[in-house]
Each structure stands twice: as C-alpha cells, then as structure tokens.
Amino acid sequence: MIILSGMKLEELEGLMNELKATKFRAKQIHSWIYSKSVSSIDEMTNLSKDFREKLKEIAIVCDTKIKVKQVSKDGTIKYLVEYPDGECVETVLMRFDNRANLTACVSSQVGCAVNCSFCATAKGGFRRNLTYKEIIEQVLTIQRDTGLKVTNIVFMGQGEPMLNLDNVLKALEIFNNDFQIGARRITISTSGIVPGIEKLAELNLQSTLAISLHAPVHELRKTIMPIENKYPLPDLKKALKNYIEKTGRRITIEYILIHGFNDTTPVAKELAYFLKDLKCNVNLIPYNSVVENDYKKPSGNDIMKFKYLLEHSGKKVTVRLERGADIDAACGQLRGKMQNKNSLG
C-alpha cells in the first residue's frame, strides 16, 4: 500500500501519471493531506467517486495510530503516536492564549542515546531513528485530530535531532514547502553535537538553533550530560561562534534550573561569563521531576534571582512556562509510563 502522507507534490504527480490522472489531481490530494488534513481518501470529496475507489485500491492516507491522547487544562494536548512496527513517540501541541500560534513539539528519534541524567527519554535507551515521513506524520496527526493548522515547530520531543540530521533536514524541507511553515518558525534543539552545528552553519538555514547548555563549566556539565566528554564546552562555544558568524542569527540557550546544582549565584555569574560574547537569548526551564533522582525544582525566588543576574549581564531571558503539567507533558514521560505499564503486563 502506498502511504500518501509524507509524499511531496512531485511524488504525487508521479503517482497520478501512473494512474493516468492529471497533475491537477495531485494538487488536490496534496491540499487534502497538508492543508485540510483528512484521514481517509473518502474525505477527498472533490475527487470523483470512481477515482477515489481506484486510489483506495493502491493507497491509504496514513499508517500510524494515536495510541494515547491527553488533554491538559491549559489546552496542551499530548499524543503518543504509534508507527506500524509498534514503536511510539510523543508529540505535543501547545497553544499560547495570547497568540494565534500553534506549536508542535516533535520527536526525531525513538528514545535517545545521549543519556542526560535528568531526562525521561534517556531512561529507555535508544531504539531507532525516525524517517522524515515519520517525523512529519506527527504534525499531520495533530492537524487531523484537531482540525487546526500547526504554525510553529520545535524539535524538542524525544531524541537528538543532530544524530538523525538527514531525516530532520528532509522533514524541514517538507514543513517549508508542503506545510508552508516558514523556516523561521522552526526550532532545532540539540544537546551540543558539534558536527551537526557545523553542518547547520554551512547550510545557513533560517531556522532557530537552540542549545541545551544546562551548565556553564565542564566539571558541572559532565555530571548531568555525558555528551560534555565528547564535545566539551570550549569546542561547543567555538562551533556556536562560527554558527553565529556565518548565519548572522541569534541562538537560543536552554538552561534547566536544578535546585542547588546550577541555580546558584556563582553559577549564574559563570553562565553570564560563558555567554558574554555569544549573540543569544536565554530560556530558563525549571526542572520538571520526571525520573527517579534527587534533583529538585528551584524556588520561584531562586528563578527570579538567576534571571535577574543574567539580565543584568545584558541578555534577554525568558522563563519557560510549565505546559501540561497535569498530563506528563515533559520530554519522554508518557512513553516511559506506557513502557512501565507494558512491562508490568
């Protein structure tokens, strides 16, 4: 069976050619998939009944399922999307009340090999890469289920996008061309994979690069992020400076605040020093307790103090609102829960 979702316009035109149908049919099907986000060929009502029957013999719209859906009081929706081989990933839709933006948080891999100590995704280990079609399928799932059009995409679900960069870049192209989501509305978040950052610098895309820094000194960072041993901070910084110079773009620094570990005044000063010659905004993320460990959330007071110190050093700082706290909306939580359930039988 041919899976229509994920096919580019040229591919659909090729298929129509085989079916001896016009190019215009390809355009219609393309619009049903990416703009109107239908789930079945029967819903493509501007195609003749005969043609729909013919198409149904060889094709279906998609082969994924929504395994779990959770809706938060704040409007955040979280999906566990299941692929035909039984593997699942998480996709989250976030709405921000004051804006018309609908942001999809997508996964790039099943599991993750980077193994950060604070992350629920890391606990299940790495399973496999997602294909570009599986990546975009997550956004189509959201659009089909809600009837809404996603306007922004962040690669902040499961997995390390830079370790599956070919598929991420192909997905990006389809988001641009087929979904009509501008590159400026897409953010790629990485734990700091230097060769990936170098590749993005070369490509000079319009997308935003977000770096999960989480600690400004080697000794501290390596205790929570083993990737620090492979790509230590000086190498990372060099790659970031090069990226900023080549693209002229401002990057985003993500920084999880863990109580008593990296949220103190001396660490804030170290962070300000590390960032002083980098063109960046900072996004502070209060730690979300998702896995069994001793990490704790910082107090509201400590968050404000940390924010103040960074702002004082001239950076624009935002604190990430907790979205969907009532529905396991942090990275890797829902899938982890399902795995636990499954292993308990």
> Smallest distance from the beta carbon of 61 to ligand SAH, in angstroms?
28
User: 258 or 272, CB closer to ligand SAH?
Assistant: 258
How are beta strands 2-3 and 88-95 bridged, if at all? unpaired
**Residue reference for tokens 């773009």:** 249
Per CB under 6 A, residues contacting ligand SAH are: 118-119, 156, 160, 189-191, 212, 254, 256, 285, 287-288, 290, 330-331
160 assigned to active site: no
Q: Residue 11: left if φ>0, alpha if ψ -120 to 50, beta else—which one?
A: alpha
215 binds ligand SF4 (CB under 6 A): no
Q: Which of 26, 106, 116, 201 binds ligand SF4 (CB under 6 A)?
A: 116
The tokens for 8 are 């580019």
**What is the smallest separation between the CB atom of 192 and ligand SAH, expressed in angstroms?**
8
Residue 285 binds which entry of ligand SAH, ligand SF4, none, with Cβ cut-offs from 5 to 8 Å by kind?
ligand SAH
134 is catalytic: no
Q: How far is the CB of 343 from ligand SF4 (least distance, A)?
A: 20
One DSSP character per residue, 12-61 reads: HHHHHHHTT--HHHHHHHHHHHHTS--SSGGG-TTS-HHHHHHHHHHEES
Q: Which does 115 bind (CB under 5 to 8 A by kind): ligand SAH, ligand SF4, none?
A: ligand SF4
Partners of 78 in the β-ladder: 70, 92
Q: How far is the CB of 90 from ligand SF4 (least distance, A)?
A: 11
- Nearest-5° Cα angle at 94, 299 to 143: 165
Query: Which one of the listed residues 112, 119, 280, 331 is annotated catalytic?
Result: 331
Catalytic residue among 90, 134, 137, 228: 90
Q: 267: which residues sit within 8 A by CB, 6+ positions away? A: 215, 216, 217, 220
Q: Does 283 bind ligand SF4 (CB under 6 A)?
A: no
Written as one string, the DSSP assignment of 65-78 is EEEEEEE-TTS-EE
Interface with ligand SF4 (CB under 6 A): 112, 114-116, 119, 121-122, 158-160, 191, 212, 331
